[in-house]
Chain A
Amino acid sequence: EDKVVQSPLSLVVHEGDTVTLNCSYEVTNFRSLLWYKQEKKAPTFLFMLTSSGIEKKSGRLSSILDNKELFSILNITATQTGDSAVYLCATRPDSWGKLQFGAGTQVVVTP
């Protein structure tokens, strides 16, 4: 059975801290891994990773994929209260197929 597992399930950090979120996967077919941020309702797209070892960056956020060990990491540096959200990772088996999500990591950033 395909599965996507995120850890930790939740964490609380202080503003300015660095956060590392983990996503491991065991799926039959894999083409890409995606990260989303969900604050209230609509998940918003962060990154799509297809190649192992290539880091993607956007401001204070960065992510990398290891498709041999089957995991991805999302890093958030110099956290701000606006980073408080649920972070979701998902795998996609082909260029247009369904997303299979993990349960998410709840991040709370305190002032």
Chain B
Amino acid sequence: DAGVTQSPTHLIKTRGQQVTLRCSPKSGHDTVSWYQQALGQGPQFIFQYYEEEERQRGNFPDRFSGHQFPNYSSELNVNALLLGDSALYLCASSALAIGNEQYFGPGTRLTVT
């Protein structure tokens, strides 16, 4: 049973560029949440998708947007990258029907230069 997968593993972008990160949830899961983890900090909630709609959003600017596809996979898009966007981006999947524990993927390390 494949767990949560994310791509790419690492990414280097230049300030002002745009980036798209991808996440495939664990089999049987229908909800995807995205988190940003800066070095030495705990993960910070960006938003959550369920039934292809954004259900909840954290305190992040509109430069951060997302999408969920019919197969439950999800994308995180960040526009106009800032140096402060450099972080580990974690995707977590869950399913209310089976306890709703969030299982995390290995993350995408984004470096903005």
Contacts of A41 in B (CB 8 A): 88, 90, 106-107
Whether B56 contacts A97 by the Cβ 8 Å rule is yes
Q: A95-B96, A96-B31, A98-B58 are in contact. Are A45 and B103 (CB under 8 A)?
A: yes
Whether B43 contacts A103 by the Cβ 8 Å rule is no
Kindly identify, within residues 8 to 61 of chain B, every residue whose CB is under 8 Å from any CB belonging to chain A.
31, 33, 35, 40-45, 48, 50, 55-56, 58
Kindly identify, within residues 77 to 113 of chain B, every residue whose CB is under 8 Å from any CB belonging to chain A.
88, 90, 92, 94, 96, 100-107
**Which residue of B has the minimal Cβ distance to A106?**
B40
Whether A101 contacts B44 by the Cβ 8 Å rule is yes
- Interface size for B (C-beta < 8 A) is 28
Max count, chain B CB within 10 A of own CB: residue among A88, A90, A96, A101:
A96
**Which residue of A has the minimal Cβ distance to B58?**
A98
Q: How large is the interface on A (under 10, 10 to 19, 20 to 34, 35 or more residues)?
A: 20 to 34
Whether B90 contacts A42 by the Cβ 8 Å rule is yes
0 or 1 for each of A59-82: is its CB under 8 Å from B? (1 = yes): 000000000000000000000000
Contacts of A42 in B (CB 8 A): 4, 90, 104-107
Whether B45 contacts A43 by the Cβ 8 Å rule is no
Contacts of B40 in A (CB 8 A): 103
Q: Does any Cβ of B come within 8 Å of A27's Cβ?
A: no
Q: Does any Cβ of B come within 8 Å of A99's Cβ?
A: yes
Whether B107 contacts A90 by the Cβ 8 Å rule is no
Question: Can you name 23 A-B residue pairings with CB atoms under 8 Å?
Answer: A4-B42, A34-B102, A42-B105, A43-B104, A44-B104, A45-B102, A48-B101, A90-B42, A95-B96, A95-B100, A96-B94, A96-B96, A96-B100, A97-B48, A98-B56, A98-B58, A99-B33, A99-B35, A99-B92, A101-B42, A101-B44, A103-B42, A104-B42
10 tightest Cβ-Cβ pairs between the two chains A and B: A101-B42, A98-B45, A41-B107, A41-B106, A42-B104, A42-B106, A43-B104, A103-B42, A101-B43, A96-B96
Residues of A within 8 A of B (CB): 4, 34, 36, 41-45, 48, 88, 90, 95-104
